[in-house]
Amino acid sequence: MNEILIDSNAGVMTITLNRVEKKNSISVSMYAAMADALVQAETDVALRAVVFQGHETIFSAGNDIADFLKPATPSQESPVWRFLRTISTFPKPVVAAVCGPAVGIGTTMLLHCDLVYAGDNAAFSMPFVNLGVCPEAGSSLLVPQMMGHQRAAQALLLGEPFMAEAALEMGLVNRIVPPQEANAVARLQALKLASKPISSLVETKRLMKKAQAASVAERMLEEGAIFARMLGESASREAFTAFMEKRKPDFSKS
Ligand code: COA
C-alpha cells in the first residue's frame, strides 16, 4: 500500500501520511516521496497550495525508529534532509490538518507550515532529549521564539506533550476542530488560498519569512550535524532499542 498519498486537484496538492498501522511514523521512502511531491508542487504552475494531513486518530509518530537503528551515512542529500530543506523553503502556502499524536518531526514540520488546523485530540511532542538526540527542523530556534524559553524547556528538555488548546494559545495552531472535520477544514482553507493571486501569495510568504530565513537554514545545519553525531552515541541507541523492545530506556550509563 502507498504510505504517502498524493492528490492534486483544484490548485491544491494534498499529501496524506498513510501508514496508520505504524502510527504514520515516517520512513526514508516516505520522506523521499514527500520531498518529491513538494518539488512538483513548487514547479507546477497549476498548484497554488499544499495540504499535509494524516488520519483523524494519528498525525505522525515521527521518524521511523527502526530506520534510526540502521547504519546510515548522514548526508544533506538524504531524504529526510531533502524533505526538511524543501518544506522549510517552500514558496507557496502550506496548510496542515493535525489530529492525535504529532511526535518529533510530526510537530516540528508544522513550524514550517503556514496554517495549522488541529483536532481536539491533537497532542504535540518533541521528545528529542528522551531519545538521546537533539531538536531538528530549526525547532531549537523556532520553538523558544514561539512559546518563550520556559515553555520551550518544558517541551524540549522535559519532552512533555502539549495539547491542542495550549498549541492554539501559543500560536502553533490556528483553530481547533472536531477530528473528523480537520482534513476538510484544511482543504477548505487551501482552496481559499488557491483562489488568490499566486504571485501575491508567494511574495507575501517570502517577505513574512525573510528576517528568519538565513538563521533557520543555518540552525537546521547545526542541529543536523549534532543529531547525526548523537545517532551514533549510546544514549540514542539505548532509547531506540528500548522502544523497539517495548521497555523503558536505561540512561544510567549515558
Ligand atoms: N517508528 C517505528 N514504529 C513506530 C513508531 C515509530 N516512531 N511509532 C509507533 N510505531 C509502531 C509501534 O512499534 C507499533 O508497532 P507493532 O504494532 O509492530 O508493535 C505500532 O506502531 C503501534 O504503536 P504503539 O506504540 O503500540 O501505539 P500507541 O497508540 O500505544 O502509541 C504513540 C502511539 C505515537 C504515542 C507511540 O507509538 C509512540 O510514542 N511512538 C514513538 C514516538 C517517537 O518517539 N518518535 C520519534 C520522534 S523523533
Q: Which domains does the chain have, with CATH numbers?
A: 4-179 (3.90.226.10)
Paired strand residues for 102: 60, 124
* Nearest of 144, 167, 166 to residue 96 by alpha carbon: 167
The whole-angstrom separation of Cα 65 and Cα 63 is: 6
Residue 91's alpha-carbon distances to 16, 48, 94, 213, in angstroms, are 20, 10, 9, 12
Determine contact, residues 51/96, Cβ cutoff 8 Å: yes
The span from the CA of 5 to the CA of 58, in Å, is: 15
Q: How far is the CA of 61 from the centre of ligand 1 (A)?
A: 6
Percent of the chain topping pLDDT 70: 99
The CA distance from 237 to 244, in Å, is 11
Q: Is 17 in the pocket of ligand 1 (CB under 6 A)?
A: no
Where does the pLDDT of residue 78 fall: very low under 50, low under 70, confident under 90, or very high at 90 and above?
A: very high
- Summary mean pLDDT of the chain: 97
Per-residue confidence band for 74, with pLDDT thresholds at 50, 70 and 90: low
C-beta separation of 41 from 193 below 8 A? no
Average pLDDT in the 62-70 region? 94
Nearest CA to ligand 1 atom 27: 23
Region 154-168 average pLDDT: 98
Distance in Å, CA 11 to ligand 1 centroid? 34
The per-residue pLDDT for 75 is 77
Q: Measured from the CB, is residue 100 less than 6 Å from ligand 1?
A: no
What is the rounded average pLDDT of the residues 137-153? Answer: 98
- The ligand 1 atom at the shortest distance from the C-alpha of residue 136 is 48
pLDDT at 197 over 90: yes
60 CA distance to ligand 1 middle (Å): 9
From 21, 23, 29, 243, give the residue whose CB has the most ligand 1 atoms within 8 Å, as the site to mutate.
23
